[in-house]
Structure 1
Amino acid sequence: MNNSGNVQDSSMVLALDRIITEIQDELDLVKEQNKISAESLKRSGLSGSEATKILSEKLSNVTHGHSSLIISKENDVTAASPIQFISLIGSDLGYQNETRFANERKEPVISNIFYLEEGFYGISISYPIFSEKNEYLGYTDVTIRPEEFLRPILVPFTEQTGYEVFILETGGMTVYETSEAEIGTNVLTDPIYDTNEMRNVSRTVVENKEGAIEYTFWNQNWDKQVRREAVWTSLEQDNQEWRIGLVKNLDDSNNENRSVSQISSSDLDTSISDLKQFVQDAAVAARMKGKENACADFNNLSGAYVTDDMYIFAYDMNGTTLALPYQQGLIGKSRMDLTDVNGLSIMPAFLDAAKRGGGFLYYIYKNPQNEYQNQLKLSLIEPVDENWFIGSGVYVPWINAELNQEDIKALINRVKHAVSHAQEVGKEQAVKDFNDINQSFANGGSYIFAYGYDGTTLALPYQPEIIGTNRMNYLDMYGVPIIAQEIYTAERGGGFVYVVYYNPDTANNELKLCYVLPAGDDWLIGSGIYTGTNLI
């Protein structure tokens, strides 16, 4: 094992400098928006409609900002945005160490990861508010989910360079990891690192501001252990210190091709029929044999449940991996943070489907047949019982579903703008505006749509005959309940959904990445990006 502060790989050093600069720029952007809002709040006061408007405007300028609060010096929430977090107003957050710390410091703070009142593990980036007489009043923040916030920077970086990226707090908590199974773990205590070598690696990284080290661990695909090298340095800002590092495999050999074949467009309908039967048969076997025996069969690469074009995977209802034959290093590990390269939260979508009796969904996932390249996958989920579920899928390699991060950023901002408009003018007027093809909200394939949580169509400007109808049970041409999935996603707080749907620019049904947000307690607003290609 080599441990040295003098890094020899100059390309890794240059790449590390580049990525730290980009992360710093994003953090500075949030800090500047917090500062602008703090200046406005000293004049408007910390509560009321004007304060809420200031928070909404701030979030509209921070693409991956999840929420924003104003917290008084007494630790009480006085304003919140977006609308689904208004119920937090009046809450005393003094029980949170991070809240008390920000109020004690009275200066900009980037918190450690903690469980936020908004209902997720994230980070609060805060800025103090002072009165015109320079009296401390409290602070305002932007809360982020690190994997969402950092993805637009780190996913393209990883694809361009081949390096994996990690970000650690000095206490060992993982802020970000290219391998989603490691996000949220503590490298000093989590069982995933429970070897003498990995414990030494973890201590070395968190105890030293910079360095390089070699070690043996699972590769990014979690199908074998390899020799690896990590290089890291530190980013210190606003009461926070992160270790940011790059990792590469020292074994440059390619993954061997697997036996999972790729279908052609003409075979898709047949493959879907075969997929249904495959999953149904596996579910019957799982109920007969029980979880342990069935999962042993599913994980057997030479068994009946790994065929030429499909394999069975299985998870419990907490997102823990039970069967994953080509990535057996992930068995026993939680994948609740599993997202695809465009940002779709895969595991919550799996769980939604399983809890509602099963169904189809689209996402992007590594294809073991094609050297673990990311490809679109159409999967079928089937609950075995109330405790666990299985699934399988077919890859759709002729669809390039991996989208430009700038286009995704524009999509998120478009939906945020529409939600802000609805909050400003009210639901009734907003729906009229969204349906008006002469307004900017109906901009060809970038149009805004809206649905009630009961499935009622509220806004669909290029299909006005559908407005007012209930589409909760609508299935696209491949049996995916796309409206229901959009509703479930919005009810969870918002996010991405893939659909195959009519494109008004081409008059064809095409794959589309949609982004949806709750617009209130009973409806959602969304928009999408068409890929320009269909699945047939």
Structure 2
Amino acid sequence: MFIAFTKKCVIMNTRCILLILIMFLFYPGCGEELTNESLFDKPSPDEMKPALDTITEQILQMLNEVREENRLSADALVSTGTSGDEAARALSLKLDNITYSHSSLIISPENVVTTAAPEQYASLIGTDLSYQNETMFATEKQSPVVSNIFYLEEGFYGISISYPIFSGEEYLGYTDVTIRPEEFFHPIISPFTEQTGYEVFILQTDGVTVYETSEVETGKNVLTDPLYDTPEMRNVSRAVIDNPEGTIEYSFWNRFWNKQTERQAVWNTLTLDNQEWRIGVVRDINGSADESGTPNEQTGDVNASIAGLTTFVEDATVFAKSTGKQEACDVFNNLSGPFVKEDLYIFGYANDGTTLALPYQQGIVGKNRMDLTDINGLSIFSGIKGAAQRGGDYLYYVYPNPNNDYQYQLKLVFVKPVDDDWFIGSGIYLPWIEAELDPEEINVLVARVKQAVSHAEKVGKEQALDDFNNLDQPYANGGEYIFAYDYNGTTLALPFQPELIGTTRMDYTDQYGAHIIYQEIDAVKQGGGFVYVVYYNPDTGENELKLCYILPAGNDWFVGSGIYTGTNFQ
């Protein structure tokens, strides 16, 4: 993050901002293209400010769209009432119109949930949320509120963006949209970080990190967390919290957490709907923003590499069980040790998310990575933990390759539990596969799956499945088709493979051994998410890498769809 050993701190005026996203090597409004020299040499605050100013309007527009959808639903609820089917439909319509929204509630003046959407949160109806400070605050204000980050009844840390419901002067309660910061902001910030090297932080004025490009810092309090427990770091933290705008130079771990580097940050303040955030943009002073190399061509026999990977992890598991956690992790973290072979290395995590072994990113060892996601939004930690809890499994995600200048590449990983407390794994990189997808394509995918869930809620499960399986319906649009399974792995919708409908596929693996249905169910239990699979593309007839997005459609089944990357695995 921005906080580290202070070099100098200069407070200066900048505009109020929220986040930073520059997806091109232009700053709109600056009137000139930024060359590699001007972008990657030591930046000045004046160079960073236009980027902040430009993205502010884009992010404010994004938040205002959520606010407007909340307002429209609040107006509709005056007519429909704040409970019942019509109220639930109003909430579902709102969620359909907001990408990466997670859920929506209606809270009565007595702080009781009267309506919830999607359907899987209906069990919250009747719950008294008076114990939540954020709920009490929104009820007291009776005005639009962007809450602090807090643990929600939905079962995760998130932010409630709320809007009051008034019938004339009578206060009927409020309706909200719940977001997970890592999901909501990731599709915007990740492409910027990859293309420019800038990182972004969002801080509450109490010091809690709402979002950080470095995922190990999200949720940490910069004023109290041991990660920043030196006098100098505390002083810098206090300077950022106490001053609504400024710049700072310091040294800290780079974004790959493999070395310390000189850094620079520019921050400002956004005040919106009873919330105040410190927003900052960070980059290395002397490092290149583009730390990637050229993708390697496909080499070797993948199946032979997988066999070697499996043996490598199994041998490491035996070693860890025989020597104990501390000694084993000391060996795994030794770059000259037997378990580091260029880009083949052992990583280790405790079940609570604490990093135990990560030899090429020593700065992350000891840090919690519970919220770790890849560049396309897949939840990495929940995936590898699920694989370990199944006794060992394969899965895919995109991760920096230390043997190729930390370029983000697709990685096939094998994970094994050591005991009930921790697990280890390793992976092989597949650099010839284009795995970094267009954020707009991902947004369209998420919207497509959310629309399928809404359709199921509207027409019922039986009719929805008939529609999903009907090749004449829009839900079976080639490679964009909707699929559905129950939580036992029974196939409910698979329009281009009708012979599989009604069969149980829990033990199905793709051609490289990944148990896909297990992974999809794990994602659904988290409220929805992404999974990679190598699967048949009806548009090409080939097996291709596919990024799937999955959401629960009810208490016992889920739906999904995907984006094929075009890479032929045969």
Q: Give the match for residue 369 of structure 2.
A: 335
> For residues 297-345 of structure 1, what are the alpha-carbon distances to aligned partners after superposition, in whole Å with 9 as ceiling and x for unaligned?
1000000000134100000111110000000111111100000010000
Determine which structure has greater relative contact order: mean sequence separation of CA pairs < 8 Å that are 6+ residues apart, divided by chain length.
2
Q: Give the match for residue 282 of structure 2.
A: 247
Q: Which runs of 5+ in 1 are unaligned?
A: none
Determine whether 1:201 maps to 2:207: no
TM-score of the pair, normalised by structure 1: 0.97
Q: Give the match for residue 64 of structure 1.
A: 100
For the 8 Å contact 2:343–2:401, the answer to whether it is kept is no
Distance in 2, Cα, partners of 1:227 & 1:198: 14
The amino acid across from 2:370 in the alignment is M
Three-state SS of the structure 2 residue aligned to 1:2 is strand
Distance in 1, Cα, partners of 2:566 & 2:533: 13
Q: Give the match for residue 474 of structure 2.
A: 440
1:221 to 224, 247, 256: 256
Q: Give the match for residue 267 of structure 2.
A: 232
Determine whether 1:480 maps to 2:514: yes
| Structure 2 counterparts to residues 454-469 of structure 1, below 5 A | 454-469=488-503
Distance in 2, Cα, partners of 1:425 & 1:515: 22
- 1:160, CA displacement in angstroms? 2.8
For the 8 Å contact 1:78–1:89, the answer to whether it is kept is yes
Q: Give the match for residue 348 of structure 1.
A: 382
Distance in 2, Cα, partners of 1:336 & 1:152: 18
Three-state SS of the structure 2 residue aligned to 1:27 is helix
For the 8 Å contact 1:67–1:143, the answer to whether it is kept is yes
- 1:263, CA displacement in angstroms? 7.9
2:525 to 483, 488, 491: 491
- 1:347, CA displacement in angstroms? 0.3
Distance in 1, Cα, partners of 2:289 & 2:476: 47
Distance in 1, Cα, partners of 2:56 & 2:537: 39
The amino acid across from 2:381 in the alignment is M
TM-score of the pair, normalised by structure 2: 0.92
- 1:5, CA displacement in angstroms? 2.5
Q: Give the match for residue 4 of structure 2.
A: none
> For residues 362-395 of structure 1, what are the alpha-carbon distances to aligned partners after superposition, in whole Å with 9 as ceiling and x for unaligned?
0000111111111100000000111110000000
Q: Give the match for residue 27 of structure 2.
A: none
2:171 to 116, 132, 136: 136
Distance in 1, Cα, partners of 2:537 & 2:402: 32
- 1:270, CA displacement in angstroms? 1.0
| Structure 2 counterparts to residues 82-481 of structure 1, below 5 A | 82-131=118-167, 133-252=168-287, 264-481=298-515
The amino acid across from 1:370 in the alignment is N
Distance in 2, Cα, partners of 1:216 & 1:198: 10
Three-state SS of the structure 2 residue aligned to 1:403 is coil
Distance in 2, Cα, partners of 1:450 & 1:49: 24
- 1:227, CA displacement in angstroms? 1.3
For the 8 Å contact 1:3–1:213, the answer to whether it is kept is yes
Q: Percent identity?
A: 63
Three-state SS of the structure 2 residue aligned to 1:531 is strand
Distance in 2, Cα, partners of 1:24 & 1:309: 41
RMSD after superposition: 1.6
The amino acid across from 2:214 in the alignment is S
The amino acid across from 1:5 in the alignment is I
Distance in 2, Cα, partners of 1:262 & 1:360: 22
Count, aligned residues: 533
For the 8 Å contact 1:500–1:534, the answer to whether it is kept is no
- 1:292, CA displacement in angstroms? 0.5
For the 8 Å contact 1:163–1:248, the answer to whether it is kept is yes
Distance in 2, Cα, partners of 1:293 & 1:58: 53
Determine whether 1:2 maps to 2:5: no
- 1:252, CA displacement in angstroms? 2.1
> For residues 83-137 of structure 1, what are the alpha-carbon distances to aligned partners after superposition, in whole Å with 9 as ceiling and x for unaligned?
1111000000000110010010000000000101110011000000011x32011
